Structure 1
Amino acid sequence: MSSLPRQSLFHSPHMAGHRSLSRRLRAFGLLLGAGTALAAGTVPMMALAADAGTGEVQLAAGRAPVQLDPVTVLGTRTEKTVSEVPASVTVVGAEEIRQRQPDDLGDLLDDIPGVEMSGGPRRTAMQPVIRGLTGERVVLRVDGARQNFESGHRGRIFIDPSLLERVEVRRGPASSLYGSGAIGGVMEVETINPGTFLEDGEPWGGEVGVSWESNGDGFGGHAIGATRLGANAEALVGFTGFDADDLENGAGETIPFTADDVRSGLVKLVFRPAEGHQLTASYMQFRDEHIIPSAANTNTNSIIVDRKTDQKTMTLGWRFDGNGNPWLDLDAKIYRTETSLDERRLDTGRFDETDLATTGIDLANTSRFQLGGFGNHAVTYGVEAYRDDQDGHRNGDIRPQYPDAQQDILGLFVQDEIVLFERLTFTPGVRFDQFDREASGLESKSDDAVSPSISVAYAVTPWLNAYASYAEAFRAPSLTELYATGEHFPGNNFVTNPDLRPETAKNKEIGLTLSESDVLTSGDRITGRVAAFRNDVEDFIEMQVQFLGYPGTTTRNNVQDARLDGVEFELAYDAPLWFASFGAARIRGDDRTEGDALGGLPGDKVSLGGGLKFMGGDVVTGWRMVAHDKQDRVATGEAVTPGYAVHDAWVSFQPSDGGLRGARFDLGVDNVFDKAYRPALSELDDPGRTVKLTAAYRF
């Protein structure tokens, strides 16, 4: 949940339909009051003190620590707690990643309001969906490196969650900071760090573990080692693997081609050459071998391939906090992402190679100063430049459907956070992007875009903030959209469109954020957010197939304007002995060109969750439910999706002392009641009941 130190969540079957924003805000207050009354009757008082050196919460014996409001840099590129950000941001931390035992990012994000995964349970076919926008309309980054791969129905998320320490999601347009593609939002994942496995003074450390899943009879394992390289450097090496057969849905039916053979590895080096400086180098590789349809995120099984997915992400980063100089707070990254899909068709032996390499640099600095009576300023400015090189081959020859092409994008951005009268923060920003594309034997194309944004935040009280924002965003046409030629299918050929324009978005949002500790008892915390938005998207790029004549044609055109409206709500309470949370999202979309409902949207979603902490937090158990209402507001040709509710339960045991100190055991049951269902954004059923067990030892 946005603005929350997220624990487990669940969704109830239905959410209220059409309510005005004022009624939703009143409901927010009523729910908060109900939660307060409930907690007052069940949570005992406890002793708490803060360690001045670490900021960690120290509790009386038998009391588990409470998670603090997480810090994010995704919302503004400056460090802020989530509740301070004038945008909808969610942070999923390391503890929740371990508790959920995720097979993919969808297992971590399925209960966040406004966030979904499309593509079904085939892990390499998944696409992020934020506020109804998917594909390249969402920026995806790993350790700051862009993941720009996109090819038809083949998915674009190639990550093993067991190597992740943190996931952040920003919902809503963000091109003023992140450039092309941030129409729907931004998703950033951070891999594990050496310091996580090195206790104070210890020269080395690590973790080994094994896992098992009942659905698909899956087995996995991981081994992570970290060491100190002198006083100022640390290194980490980690490997993971997972093998599983085809999954089954809640009716006991096999979900075809969902078996996996996954291997991942990570190498990371952290070096601190001087006070305030930190250099980080990392290399991560993901590899999956499986039999899968070529159109992997559909239920079409006409072309089955033996597919090898291989992605390598390399980053080199430099952080300098200024060492007391307010004019310097530097974050620089150089990166390269290489994605390769090799597919051999089982019936004919046809061999396709689909490759994309992204090489880039991202440099940002923040200067802080006072300007007389015009407030305190934090000016963030920088440059991002990257090149996409793609090429495709079929049986060794050039494949025009995925043409040899490249694009160069250069972006310059500046943002000023201005604090006036201590309570009022005014944040204007703007980014300019220049993009040039070319393909062998085809017309080159250049274009540019300006993406302004502005937000105003006001601290109503020390625990309640209100904000309003306006942001414009864009997505440049992809190389395949611009340059694909050759045969689409027998009797139909691709035709290029050199006049294709970028998609653009204009988003308005208002919201309230809540963050307060010691509400009912010493050491507890309540956090929340309610946001309402309207996003007007113009020049949607759509593939149009013309069957008249022979051969027919397929081309991309700017054919659609759309309006997306929505409301998102989140509330969480965390105390030393228990926790609870609630979330809801409602998104409506209209095709303003045709006057019909906009397709590709999820049904209304509601989440609820809660759990208990025992033995000072050594044992944590919880339950969550995710529910979607029936989705009958669909575009012409789309099927109506029935509503459903899915329940999960879990328990974690991590002894803090004694002979088992360092061990951890996680037991979870996903889809407890073995519900058979299909999400609105998938053509495949989701898995039925799945028992998960992980045993790990940290040394």
Structure 2
Amino acid sequence: PRQHYAVATVAEYCSAVHTGLELIHKERLDASNAPGGKDRRVAVYAVDDMRITDAWAVTPALRYETSKITGSSAPNDGTYDNNALMGGLSVRYAFGNGLALFTSAAYTEGLPMIDHLGTDAAITSSEKAETYEIGASFDRHDLFRNGDQFAIKGVYYETTLTDVSSYSVSGVRPPAPALDRVETSGLELEASYALDTGLYFDVNANVVRGTEYEPGGVSGDWRLLPADSLRVTVGKKFGKELDLSWEVVGNTSVTDDGETSAGFGVHNLRATYVPQNGILKDTQFRVGLENAFDKTYTPHLSTRTAPGRNVKFSISRMF
């Protein structure tokens, strides 16, 4: 359950607070390659979206999470309790001409999982990460011609992961030595352009680099670094009823420890129909054809080939 409310105190200041409660209960049987047990968690969080003026926006956030991991059989039949307080802060300044600058800082913890049973260092401590971002965005109507809309956003980020246990403990695949820390940085880019005729274009790209450090100071490329990716969509909207789109998703090839994961590009087609009258008004019907050319490929960091041609149909309604 979530609560949502807003309070206005002065003409130029308003605050919208989002609060939430999460309850998680997982049970898993013992397997030859993984221990079984129970994972019970409770988390509460609060996010305050504060609009100080038309230009300034400040958003602090807090999250508290507690977990209890219980093993189902010896030698992993102990019970382990963990908890963590996390938080972050983002600041945004809008210039009033469509341009905005923003930055954020966050501290997060990943509490132990059932997979860590039997590994004392992993089950009694959490992984900790600090992330910093800086970026800019631009949004403007009637930029190149009447009725068009252009938007672009770029974000540079850096993350440092410490108390690394998920990728160092015995039995974790791929095998990894003990790690002191992992440092990653990357650039995300989003851009969109739409015409009043309904034609639109979307582009999303992500480039990331990372280095892992062993306790002795030895460093190398982060072995679980994702591939650089690019997603391009071309579509056309016919009023509010019909939306047709063609999406191309591509990943670059990655060479890790002498092994290369080949790059790939796949095509997805979608059609979305939303009736504007009658009993089905505002009900969304969507048909998607994923991997339209039935390409065989294996995403980087995956041990199995991706699904072939896949047809999905969904119906949704928001009240």
**Shorter chain as normaliser: what TM range?**
0.7 to 0.9
Shift of 1:338: 2.0
Would the alpha carbon gap of residues 613 and 498 (structure 1) be closer, same or farther in structure 2, given more than 3 Å must change? closer
When the two chains are superposed, the root-mean-square deviation of aligned CA atoms in Å is 4.0
For residue 654 of structure 1, what is the aligned residue in structure 2? Answer: 274
Match of 1:391, as an amino acid? T
SS at match of 1:601: coil
Aligned to 1:680, the other structure's residue is in SS state coil
Q: CA deviation at 1:465?
A: 2.1
Determine if contact 2:58/2:90 at 8 Å carries over to the other structure.
no
* Of 629, 634, 641, the match for 2:252: 629
Report what 2:66 is aligned to: 387
Residue deviations 1:361-381 (CA, integer Å, cap 9, x gap): 3345577779xxxx9987766
Which letter maps to 1:617? K
Aligned to 1:609: 233
Distance 1:618 1:318, change over 3 A: closer
The letter of the residue matching 2:43 is G
Contact 1:505 1:538 in 2 (8 A): yes
Partner of 1:320: 5
Cα distance 1:659–1:681, how it changes in 2: closer, same or farther (>3 A)? same
Q: Distance in 1 between matches of 2:101 and 2:49?
A: 24
- Label 1:404 to 1:532 Cα distance change in 2 as closer, same or farther (>3 A): same
Question: What's the counterpart of residue 112 of structure 2?
Answer: 478
Q: Which has the larger radius of gyration?
A: 1
Q: Which residue matches 2:38?
A: 355
Is the CA contact (8 Å cut-off) linking 2:112 and 2:124 kept in structure 1?
Answer: no
Ranges in structure 2 where 5+ consecutive residues have no aligned partner: none
In structure 1, distance between residues paired with 2:90 and 2:45 = 22
CA separation in 2, counterparts of 1:390 and 1:381?
30
Please tell me the residue identity of whatever aligns with 1:668: G
Report SS of the residue matched to 2:225: coil
Give yes or no for the alignment of 1:583 onto 2:207: no
Superposition deviation, residue 622 in structure 1: 0.9
Match of 2:98 in 1: 463
Structure ranking higher in helix proportion: 1
The 2-side partners of 1:465 and 1:599 are apart by: 35
Q: 1:323 to 1:579 in 2, by over 3 A?
A: same
SS at match of 2:253: coil
Give the aligned partner of residue 517 of structure 1. Answer: 141
Aligned counterparts, 1:225-624, within 5 A = 315=1, 317-322=2-7, 329-342=16-29, 354-363=37-46, 384-393=63-72, 398-401=73-76, 403-410=78-85, 431=87, 457-459=92-94, 462-468=97-103, 471=105, 473-475=107-109, 478=112, 484-485=117-118, 494=119, 496-497=120-121, 503-541=127-165, 542-545=167-170, 559-576=179-196, 577-593=198-214, 594-614=218-238, 616-624=239-247
* Distance (whole Å) between structure 2 residues aligned to residue 365 and residue 697 of structure 1: 28
Higher relative contact order (CA 8 A, sep 6+): 1
Q: Secondary structure at the match of 1:511?
A: strand
Question: In structure 1, what residue type is equivalent to 2:25?
Answer: E
Q: TM-score scaled to structure 1, two decimals?
A: 0.38
Distance in 2, Cα, partners of 1:639 & 1:674: 25
Question: More strand per residue: 1 or 2?
Answer: 2
Instruction: Give me the identity figure in percent.
Output: 19
Contact 2:112 2:123 in 1 (8 A): no
CA distance in 1, matches of 2:145, 2:21: 47
CA contact (8 A) 2:168 2:179 kept: no
Distance 1:666 1:365 in 2: 34
Aligned runs of 1:119-138 on 2, under 5 Å? none
Task: Output one character per residue of 1:614-660: Cα deviation in whole Å (capped at 9) or x when no partner.
Answer: 2x23222110010111111x1x3x73111110001122233324797
8 Å CA contact retained: 1:402, 1:480: no
**What is the aligned length?**
306
Letter aligned with residue 67 of structure 2? D
| Residue of structure 2 equivalent to 1:57 | none
Aligned partners of 2:227 and 2:122: how far apart in 1? 36
SS in 2 for 1:336: strand
